[in-house]
Structure 1
């Protein structure tokens, strides 16, 4: 069983389980999804990340005790991932590093699409010389903004600008783009390579579970 930690508070069970369902469908894994409390707009700056870290650590510790074989922190900033790797005995996977590592494997110049002012450092550092640039849709400041039609339209236009800068692949630096199914939209409308953070974290979770002795 894989534990998927959502870093935004959901009352809607369907939204809570969205990332886990993507991973389960794509990789055939058993998944349980949980979310941090009291953060309805998730992580969107340094302050909200600091607030979320102890909550993520608490949830991950509980998941390990409940028998999880790996924990996925479904956020492109990889919050609490370094701390958890020093505490837990099971693999801990962050969406940001997973997506950037997949992009490095493709070897294509990568544009990073996020919602924060700057690209998550873990994504930028992992991409290294493949990093072309970073952009966020206008008027999108947190993951809930992506659930609107306007937010989704602006995400497509922002992706177009990254491709015009020379990007050959688009890396999602917000897992909210997975929630709205943006990868398939971009692949269809713009014909570009897209590295979806949830798909990437699921790939590493699959390896973590399937390759255990």
Structure 2
């Protein structure tokens, strides 16, 4: 059963989070439902965000299709061709996630907005082409091609999460580059985390993600 959902944006350490949880013995869904995790017809290979919306519109529970297979959801957005799914940016979905069960924990992986924007720009045309075509909550079609627009969207996303969750103890904004990140996350989950580092690093010569 899912115990943790990451509400952070892409390029904020979502893969690092998934790997850290896997080293602690948890099964995490990162971007897609992997076929090694389920043989259920129509589930393996699909986007995590798609299954969250399926559950939400079918019965109001975003986790109903994913609960049997995962302990955590570490990357829930998807942007691929005509597919644009951003549950972490959708107020109705955030409310449904919070109401799904009282013991659900949330984390929002975080990096400085300028660094995230720069990583997005250099990651498979995410910033320059795909975001402006994505029709994302807070970033309508045609916006997101410049650093200024991406930074404003990124900062607005985390400000929205802070407004929604306030001092809710179930929520942790996690600065993945902070020396205390491993201990903060372990304390939040009540889980021993034997590993913390960096995964899915952008090896572009201009910098790393």
State the TM-score, normalizing by the size of structure 2: 0.33
TM-score after normalising by structure 1: 0.32
Of Structure 1 and Structure 2, the greater helix share is in 1
